[in-house]
Homo-oligomer: A and B are copies of this chain.
Amino acid sequence: MMKVSGNGFCSPLVVVVLSPDTKEETVAWLLRRMREKQQDGGTLTGLLMIKDLPKSAELLVDPLGSKVEEKENPNIFLVTASWQRLLTGAEDLGLFKEFNDGSMRSFTFINRHNFKEFHGDGDGFLSMAECQYIIKHELETLRAKDETHVPGYAQAKLYPGKSIIRRLQSKKIMIQMFPLHDKEELKRLSFKWYKKVKTSLQPLDNIRHYFGEGLALYFAFLEYFTMALVPLALLGLLYCQFDWENYDKYVFFAVFNLIWCTVILELWKRCSASLAYHWGTLSRKKVFEEPRPGFHGILGFNPVTGREEPLYPNYKRQLRIYLVSLPFVLLCLYLSLYVMMIYFQMEGWALMLYDKDPTFCTKLFLYIPGIIYAVVIEIMNLIYRYAAEFLTEWENHRLESSYQNHLVLKVLVFNFLNCFASLFYIAFIMQDLVLLRQNLATLLITSQIINQFMEAFLPYWLQRGRNKMMMMEIPLNEQVRMEIHMSTYLGTFDDYLELFLLFGYISLFSSVYPLAAVLVVLNNITEIYSDAFKMCNLYKRPFSDPAANIGIWQLAFEAMSVIAIVTNCTLIGMSPQVRAYFPDSEMHLMLWTVAIEHGLLAFKFIVAFLVPDIPKHIRINLARLDFESMEALKKKKMFEFPVMRRVAGEKE
């Protein structure tokens, strides 16, 4: 299916689904616009070019199949393009590819034969995920010219330069746009990835080839995190083997934790840069981002592009953020803390009741506060998530990336508090390390069981039938109609959030419960398999996302590791062994703890500053590219010099 057929056209790549009741004139207009030469609405006076260029260079759109059944949506279209169109699209997007000399360079059509994997016509040079990304980009930059509204829909306003697809999406005329799965490649990938019991690592390059860099980086991080946990887990196992009951000697673990979480995050940055370099996303220049579909404002001129587009004053957004969203988040955080305090109070009552009258009935009472608290937390999480999405939408961010960052921040803070506030309370206010250990174990084990059930077993069971169908040889028409009904993968957000919370349990408190690392390793291994399974079988294929790093999550994990320094230092200061050194003065103990903690914080920042984020050989490669382009520019100028002389001469 990846193959380009003999006449130079790719097989169907992207499915576009319009609402079933879309007017015919709208469909005809859209198809015409998709098929003709695309011009940047506002900036180029390229009408001349359209005539000059052959039709074959443009997008190829076909309605799905001829035998449309009754009740089925007739407005399903398959979009593809000629290989040449795709290659020039790759150049437009500035995709990086491996050059003959082994370095990564921005692909250019003229230079195409000097790229390593380019054979013959360029068949197989671009991965299917890249082709689909290019087509998505072409569709999204399909701009209105002189249309004032979408034909047939007077309320769907257009203006020169407006992205047509975005308007169709916001008016619910276009209801889906997704890339097709490639069943052969998917079969090969899933076999390599999770179907066979194996000792090797995940096939990251294949994952990247099929799903794109964003998802591949998630799986790389998941794998890296798991590997990094192995030493901790081994230490934990050894410790439990030989010293099972003597948990109080946790100072060693706390020190180890401190170093571990700083080191692994620094190394991950280098590791991620290395992957991104080889995948060509590290030095790729970002393409200018389109406003997100929901963005609205008063029509004006974008100061950067000069194009007409809705503008929304930044101060209004800031007001919404600081006067509404921020207070709301703070209120929710306060509520969450309040609920936690009620829980502790209820638990105290239950314990008191049990102590007074230890019967079976009062013993059952002991579990009730915990259950109620867990349920309330879940409900609060759910409501908060909706509220956060609503608020972030209402803040009216221009770019999808900015929307995502604000949403992640909101959800992160709340989840952090929900998960860790009770542990902090037990550790530092109650100072009850036995209870801390119990709670940590309970939280980890229950969340693991629930996760495995929700993420692996349940979907597998639900999808048994469809799964078989995916593996059968079915005609394209049926495949498309089946994939339309698969659910949409909403991005790596929830997956990263899960890892973030696990990282928190480990780095903040695992010193008092060394087995935590073992549990998390086990969890992560099953997580890899269940995530792989769900990506290959349960969801529509997602568009690839040319990410160069894990983005805001790197920051989140680093913030966690800073907090880990504080908690571990405090735990060390609270330990009986350390207290024994300061028998008469709590004050001195505390001064020392604070001083050492400040030293460690400073040290962490210095290390982060000194360790280069990009490995040396890649830095050299990047510098060489820079240098070469500078030299090329100079050379070019020199050859142009005689011309310049002449011009100068005329002036004299």
Residues of A that sit less than 8 Å from B by CB = 40, 43-44, 46, 49, 52-54, 84, 88, 91-92, 109-110, 120-121, 285, 287-288, 303-306, 314, 566, 586-587, 590-591, 594, 598, 616, 620, 623-624, 627, 630-631, 634-635, 637-638, 640-642, 644-645, 647-648, 651-652
Inter-subunit contact B121/A644 (CB<8 Å): no
The CA of A620 and the CA of B303, in the complex, are separated in Å by 7
**21 sample A-B contacts, Cβ–Cβ < 8 Å, listed by A number:** A40-B634, A44-B631, A44-B635, A53-B641, A84-B648, A88-B637, A88-B644, A109-B637, A109-B644, A120-B651, A121-B652, A287-B630, A288-B627, A304-B620, A304-B624, A305-B627, A306-B624, A566-B598, A586-B587, A590-B591, A594-B594
Q: Contact partner of A43 among B631, B641, B642, B652, CB < 8 A?
A: B631
B residues near A648, Cβ cutoff 8 Å: 84
A410 vs chain B, min Cβ distance (A): 15
Name the residue on B nearest A635 (C-beta).
B44
Name the residue on B nearest A113 (C-beta).
B651
The CA of A651 and the CA of B109, in the complex, are separated in Å by 13
The CA of A590 and the CA of B592, in the complex, are separated in Å by 12
A471 vs chain B, min Cβ distance (A): 37
B residues near A110, Cβ cutoff 8 Å: 640, 644, 647
B residues near A598, Cβ cutoff 8 Å: 566
B residues near A642, Cβ cutoff 8 Å: 52
Where chain A touches its partner, the secondary structure class is helix
B residues near A121, Cβ cutoff 8 Å: 651-652
B residues near A109, Cβ cutoff 8 Å: 637, 644
B residues near A627, Cβ cutoff 8 Å: 288, 304-305
B residues near A634, Cβ cutoff 8 Å: 40, 44, 92
The CA of A630 and the CA of B43, in the complex, are separated in Å by 12
The CA of A651 and the CA of B123, in the complex, are separated in Å by 13
Copies of this chain present in the complex amount to 2
Inter-subunit contact B624/A303 (CB<8 Å): yes
The CA of A217 and the CA of B10, in the complex, are separated in Å by 57
The CA of A303 and the CA of B49, in the complex, are separated in Å by 43
A629 vs chain B, min Cβ distance (A): 10
B residues near A620, Cβ cutoff 8 Å: 303-304
The CA of A277 and the CA of B640, in the complex, are separated in Å by 29
B residues near A635, Cβ cutoff 8 Å: 44
The CA of A88 and the CA of B638, in the complex, are separated in Å by 10
Inter-subunit contact A630/B586 (CB<8 Å): no
A88 vs chain B, min Cβ distance (A): 7
B residues near A49, Cβ cutoff 8 Å: 638, 641
The CA of A160 and the CA of B621, in the complex, are separated in Å by 23
A305 vs chain B, min Cβ distance (A): 6
The CA of A287 and the CA of B591, in the complex, are separated in Å by 50
Q: Contact partner of A587 among B52, B314, B587, CB < 8 A?
A: B587
B residues near A645, Cβ cutoff 8 Å: 54
Q: Contact partner of A623 among B287, B304, B591, CB < 8 A?
A: B304
